[in-house]
Structure 1
Amino acid sequence: MLRTIVRAAPEAGQTIRLTYADGKIVAVDLTSIIRQGGVFTALGDPVVFERVRIGERGRYIEWPGGPDLCADALWLAAHSGDEAEAA
């Protein structure tokens, strides 16, 4: 099933709360991704992190300057394997 994001809201720390088209809400901590560096380094700045927006057709979230994360990958990051398959 392809997941579609309808709302993305930054929260305290480096967490994003996502609302999917089916009404399910998840919170994803992006700290480990940001610590990897590269294109995600800029997201360590709270001003940049808060500028998250939903990409085309809700299939990803993105920030100015190019970093983006897939809706399906974010869903899986928020769930264990068994829960993600059953959801």
Structure 2
Amino acid sequence: RPKCRWNPGVPLGVPHQVMENDIYREMLIPKGSLVFANIKAMSLDDSVYSRATSFYPERYLPKPGGNEEPPFINLAFGFGRR
């Protein structure tokens, strides 16, 4: 998992087609547009991962007294409808 987060096999993810007009941050995304989720950028986001640009596999070890998984643990494998 650390390697997949650090260097995802498909950095821009698989394209998804917008099913209906959508507004994102005041920008229209027309129906039929192809969008890409920048998995590489999400994987290196400091607001999600502490020391995001460091190879730190210990972040995936269970925390004492907690059973919460790290955020986006399977992000490198994609998301959305299949």
Q: How high is the TM-score relative to the length of structure 1?
A: 0.29
Return the index of the structure with the highest Cα Rg: 2
Q: Which has the higher contact order (CA 8 A, sep 6+)?
A: 2
Structure whose residues are more often helix by fraction: 1
Structure whose residues are more often strand by fraction: 1
